């Protein structure tokens, strides 16, 4: 019986002592969780609040030890920024914590080593960037020795060899009209004649760095075979013109032209009806507009209209103008040039005192132009 009573008191004492221990563990565990969260979000203010609020607690040493444990974990992970801030907060809340002071010294030394390492790595990175830039600049200078920068027809810049510079900064086209058939109508004596001849058309354009295009157009056509009665036959008809041009504002396809033209008209003593019916050779400056290279699928269309100011110097000509159109059909492209088939229409209208004189021709031509790379 005495043994039973002894066992009862032993169990009772153990129960009485364990209740405060469990209570302490639950209270401290709650603070531990707060510290865990603080070290996740790395909030210096919240850490200082937790330590200062529990600074006078009899179990503060447990809270302090747990905080130092979390700081050591940061040191292992090389997270010295928050570790430094956290150990300073621990020391400020307990100036007698010699272990925290020693830990501060260790963190400071490790932090300085890390900063030196980071500076070395940053210096290596900057040196590598400088080396790469040096190599690029060296290669660029080598390229410039063999190549030059040139603008394309679209206004871009590319490096090309010196011998190909003209392929990107300028363009040209020549067209030989193998058939230039002209219909001439004069109001007097009811003259309507057809003529056959040849023509040559040429244009050159240069693209400036500001994308403006300057150039020149030149055309010459002569019809030397006349299909008409002897009294109406004209031995020679044709026209010649040359016109510098420049793009109109931002429109790359629209050109303003100003040049000089000649309308040829041969006379024959054997054709008395043409003496008054057809105007003599006319010399005239002119101005006009021209649309070039309008895309129609793979085809390109040119349209132009000109006003001939020379009519102001001829008593029997009240107004004069010209119009042109050309459809370009590509059929072969070589490395440097492109071959095209061209169908062109040209018309000259002279409004005379006696009526309207018209010279309209259709031209079938073979063209060659440089290839823009």
Question: From residue 295, how far is each of 84, 165, 302 by CA, in Å?
Answer: 71, 25, 9
CA distance 362 to 329: 16
Phi, psi at residue 269, to the nearest 5°?
Answer: -65, -20
Kind plus residue range of the DSSP H or E element containing 317: strand 317-333
pLDDT at 296 over 80: yes
What's the pLDDT at 180? 94
Beta carbons within 10 angstroms of residue 47's beta carbon: 23
Helix axes 80-93, 98-146, angle to 10 degrees: 160
* 172 C-beta neighbours (distance < 10 Å), count: 16
Per-residue pLDDT of 111-167, as tens digits, reads 778 778 888 888 888 888 888 888 888 777 666 655 555 555 455 555 555 444 444
Determine the 3-state secondary structure of 270 from DSSP: coil
Tens digits of residue pLDDT in 27-48:
788 889 888 998 988 888 988 8
Distance CA(25)–CA(32), nearest Å, equals: 10
Q: Bigger pLDDT: 15 or 362?
A: 362
- Rounded CA separation 237/199 (Å): 12
Write the pLDDT tens digit of every residue in 232-278: 778 788 899 999 999 987 788 899 999 999 998 877 777 677 766 67
Cα–Cα distance list, 226 to 190, 237, 270 (Å): 16, 9, 13
> What average pLDDT does the chain have?
83
- With pLDDT > 70 as the criterion, what percentage of the chain qualifies? 84
pLDDT in the model for residue 175: 96
Cβ density class 126-163: b for 16+ within 10 Å, e for less: eeeeeeeeeeeeeeeeeeeeeebebbbbeeeeeebeee
Looking at residue 164, its pLDDT comes to: 44
Sign of CA dihedral 124, 129, 132, 133: negative
Instruction: Give the whole-angstrom CA distance, residue 24 versus residue 21.
Output: 5
Please, are residues 305 and 287 in contact by the beta-carbon 8 Å criterion?
Answer: no
CA–CA dist 9, 300 (Å, integer): 114
Which residues partner with 195 through β-bridges?
Answer: 182, 226
Predicted local confidence at residue 23, as pLDDT: 47
Comparing 280 with 260, the larger pLDDT belongs to: 260
What is the rounded distance in angstroms from the CA atom of residue 297 to the CA atom of residue 316?
45
- What is the average per-residue pLDDT within 348-356? 89
């Amino acid at each position: 019986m005495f043994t039973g009573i002894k066992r009862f008191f032993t169990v009772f004492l153990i129960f009485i002592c364990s209740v405060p221990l469990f209570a302490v563990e639950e209270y401290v565990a709650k603070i531990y969780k707060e510290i865990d969260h603080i070290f996740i979000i790395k909030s210096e203010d919240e850490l200082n609040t937790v330590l200062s609020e529990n600074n006078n607690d009899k179990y503060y040493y447990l809270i302090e030890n747990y905080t130092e444990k979390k700081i050591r974990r940061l040191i292992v992970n090389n997270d010295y920024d928050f570790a430094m801030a956290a150990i300073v907060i621990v020391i400020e809340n307990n100036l007698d914590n010699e272990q925290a002071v020693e830990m501060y010294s260790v963190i400071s030394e490790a932090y300085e080593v890390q900063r030196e390492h980071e500076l070395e790595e940053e210096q290596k990175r900057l040196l590598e960037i400088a080396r790469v830039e040096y190599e690029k600049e060296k290669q660029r200078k080598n390229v410039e020795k063999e190549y030059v920068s040139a603008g394309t027809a679209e206004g871009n810049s590319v490096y090309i060899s010196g011998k190909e510079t003209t392929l990107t900064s300028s363009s040209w086209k020549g067209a030989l009209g193998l058939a230039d058939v002209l219909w001439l109508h004069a109001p007097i004596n009811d003259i309507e004649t057809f003529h056959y001849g040849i023509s040559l058309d040429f244009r050159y354009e240069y693209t400036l760095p500001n994308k403006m295009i300057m150039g020149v157009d030149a055309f010459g056509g002569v019809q030397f075979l006349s299909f008409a009665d002897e009294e109406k036959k004209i031995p020679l008809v044709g026209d010649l013109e040359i016109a510098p041009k420049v793009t109109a504002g931002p429109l790359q396809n629209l050109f303003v032209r100003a040049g000089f033209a000649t309308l040829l008209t041969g006379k024959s003593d054997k054709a008395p009806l043409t003496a008054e019916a057809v105007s003599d050779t006319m010399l005239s400056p002119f101005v006009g507009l021209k649309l070039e290279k309008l895309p129609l699928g793979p085809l390109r269309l040119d349209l132009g209209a000109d006003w001939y100011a020379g009519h102001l110097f001829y008593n029997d000509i009240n107004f004069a103008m010209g119009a042109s159109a050309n459809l370009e059909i590509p059929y072969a492209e070589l490395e440097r040039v492109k071959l095209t088939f061209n169908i062109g229409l040209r018309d000259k209208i002279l409004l005379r005192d006696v009526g309207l004189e018209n010279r309209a021709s259709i031209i079938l031509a073979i063209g060659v132009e440089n290839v823009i790379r």
